[in-house]
Amino acid sequence: MLVLAACVSADRGGADPPPPEPHAGAPTAAEGASPGAAAADPDTGPDPALAASGAHGVTRGGTFWVEWEPAPAPIPVNEPFELLVRVYADGERTELLDDVLVNVTGWMPGHGHGMHRKARVVSRREGVHRVRGMLFHMSGFWELNVDVTRQFYSERVTFPVELP
Ligand SMILES: [Cu+2]
C-alpha cells in the first residue's frame, strides 16, 4: 500500500514533465494535418470561384464521377445558362457512362432558396447531358447539385459556386 502510494506519488511528481510532451505532440500532429488539408484534392474541394466555369467531383457514395461545364462560362448572374454534364465510372474520367440520368438543381444555403425555375435535360447523347433552364438569379454563394440516377439508385454531388 505504502509502496503503491509512493509510486503514485512519484508518478504525480513526474507528471509535470509529461504534460508538455502531449502538448508538444499535439502541435506536431496538427502541423502534419494542415498540409494535407491545404493540399485539397481538386476532385473533392473545388474552388467555388473557379467552379463558376465548371468543375468535376465524385458523388457522396463514391459511385459516380461528375464533370460539368456551363455555357456561357463563367456562369452569369441572373441570366439563363446551359450545362453539359458527363458522368464517369472512374476518377480519371476515362469510362464515360451512358446508362445514367442526371438532374441539376441550384440552392443558396445562406438564403434558404433555390432557383426560380426548374432546369431540365433537353438531350442526352453518348453520355453527354445537355441541361437547359439554369438560372442563378443573384450573386453570392450557390450550391450546384447534380443527382445521378442509374435505374433506381441515386447519388448526389454538390459543387460550391461563388458568383461575383
Ligand atoms: Cu439568394
Examine the domain organization and report whether 77 and 23 are in the same domain.
Answer: no
Examine the domain organization and report whether 54 and 130 are in the same domain.
Answer: yes
Q: Residue 44 falls within a domain, yes or no?
A: no
Return the pLDDT at 42: 46
- Dihedral over Cα of 82, 131, 64, 140: its sign: positive
Examine the domain organization and report whether 73 and 129 are in the same domain.
Answer: yes
Examine the domain organization and report whether 141 and 84 are in the same domain.
Answer: yes
Q: Which domain holds residue 65?
A: 50-163
**Global confidence as pTM:** 0.73
CB 134 within 8 A of CB 115: yes
Q: Residue 100 falls within a domain, yes or no?
A: yes
Return the pLDDT at 50: 83
Q: Which three cell numbers stand for residue 71?
A: 455555357
Examine the domain organization and report whether 18 and 67 are in the same domain.
Answer: no
Please state, as a whole number, how many other Cβ atoms lie within 10 Å of the Cβ of residue 39: 9
- Low pLDDT (below 70) residues in the chain: 1-46
Q: Residue 43 falls within a domain, yes or no?
A: no
CA of 86 to the centre of ligand 1 (A): 27
CA of 113 to the centre of ligand 1 (A): 6
Return the pLDDT at 28: 37
Return the pLDDT at 2: 42
CA of 140 to the centre of ligand 1 (A): 7
Return the pLDDT at 45: 62
Examine the domain organization and report whether 97 and 143 are in the same domain.
Answer: yes
CB 129 within 8 A of CB 84: yes
Return the pLDDT at 49: 81
Return the pLDDT at 34: 36
Number of domains in the chain: 2
CA of 19 to the centre of ligand 1 (A): 49
